[in-house]
Amino acid sequence: MRIDLHTHSDVSDGTLTPAELVRAAAGSGIEVLGLTDHDTAAGWAAAEAEALATGVTLVRGMEISTRHAGRPVHLLGYLVDPTYPPLVAALGKILDGRNARVPAILERLRALGIAIDVADVRRVAPNARATGRPHIADALVDLGVVGHRDVAFRDLLNPGRPAYVERYAASLEEMVGLVVAAGGVAVVAHPWGRSDPASLQADGLARLQSLGLAGVEVDHQDHSPADRERLRAIARELGLVVTGASDFHGEGKIDHDLGCHTTSPEDLDALLTLAAESGRAAGRMTPQVVRP
Ligand code: AMP
Ligand code: ZN
Ligand code: FE
Ligand code: FE
């Protein structure tokens, strides 16, 4: 069984619509798909309809932008009640923070002599709930300034590059608690990827586990093979669920093809068991896995 639990549609910074993403997954032989757009559940309904039509099992989730030890960390929240008011409020604040920094980034680009404004960004992201660096990168491609999104990040938009601007992110500890309170399960995404691994070694992960963290995304393109094995050993030792996923973004991210990393059926079962317990404990109407 091929299980890919972390993908993006164009309601965040992927390039396929939620329905196209589900069809692409079906075409790639993915049997269980996790839809995890950044900070939003806006793609869930369209993905659900297409999952029922194509026979893909769908796990609805989101990838929440958080901060830990001063560094950005992404947190996957699966099967949360998307109407839980504290979660809605927290996500709203993150989306506002994303939108608010776009003008500041554009100002820096203009200072570098690049003619770009908000309309250029909107044009390339008609379905996105919030616009961020990936959409600015797409606008730069569209305007012929760079050849690919990747180049825009490397030369202009990454930390330390001239157009980088910080944005608001929620505290990782608080968001783990919020995902659990919303009846879902929390899995830290690519913890040794772009973030600082120092804060997310065994002791850091154990502390998050005591706050309700259910799992760790181990098999991911941003982790070296050696890091995957070290992180897997830590996660297994702690009794955390181990996941693997593509972090597919359509055309938006090179080398993240659907199914390039996958999760084992045993780990998926463990995750879904924890989700069922979390939903019961929270007493909330949580979404179920869509099983056609
Ligand atoms: P933002 O949320 O606006 O800070 O943008 C961060 C997002 O941009 C990440 O979640 C990635 O999905 C995406 N991203 C970061 N680096 C790259 C890259 N080199 N190429 C394509 N997408 C990237
Ligand atoms: Zn993304
Ligand atoms: Fe991420
Ligand atoms: Fe992602």
What's the CATH code of the domain at 139?
1.10.150.650
Q: 25-49 as b/e, with b when 16 or more CB fall inside 10 Å?
A: bbebebbbbbbbbbbbbbbbebbbe
What pTM was computed for the model? 0.96
Ligand 1 atom at shortest distance from the alpha carbon of 133? 3
Q: Is the CB of 248 under 6 A from ligand 1?
A: no
Q: Give whole-number Cα distances, 253 to 138, 140, 148, 239, 257, in Å.
A: 11, 15, 9, 31, 9
Residues of the chain with confidence (pLDDT) below 70: none
Closest alpha carbon to 272 in 111, 83, 93, 79:
79
- Per the document, the length of the chain is 292
Task: Tell me the residue type at 9.
Answer: S
Residues with CB under 5 A from ligand 3 (ion): 74, 189
| Residue 282 counted as domain residue | no
pLDDT at position 273: 98
Q: What's the CA gap between 29 and 9, in Å, rounded?
A: 18
At residue 266's C-alpha, the angle toward residues 36 and 18, to 5°, is 20
| Residue 283 counted as domain residue | no
At residue 76's C-alpha, the angle toward residues 71 and 80, to 5°, is 130
What is the domain extent for residue 109?
98-157
pLDDT at position 197: 85
Tally of domains in the chain:
1
| Protein residue with least CA distance to atom 2, ligand 1 | 132
| Residue 227 counted as domain residue | no
| Residue 4 counted as domain residue | no
Contact 4, 25 (CB under 8 A): yes
| Residue 45 counted as domain residue | no
| Residue 46 counted as domain residue | no
Give the tokens for residue 264: 């084992």
| Residue 119 counted as domain residue | yes
Q: What's the CA gap between 51 and 42, in Å, rounded?
A: 15
pLDDT at position 170: 92
| Residue 71 counted as domain residue | no
Residues with CB under 5 A from ligand 2 (ion): 13
Q: Is the CB of 250 under 6 A from ligand 1?
A: no
Q: Is the CB of 13 under 6 A from ligand 1?
A: yes
pLDDT at position 213: 98
205-224 tens-digit pLDDT: 999 999 999 999 999 999 99
pLDDT at position 196: 78
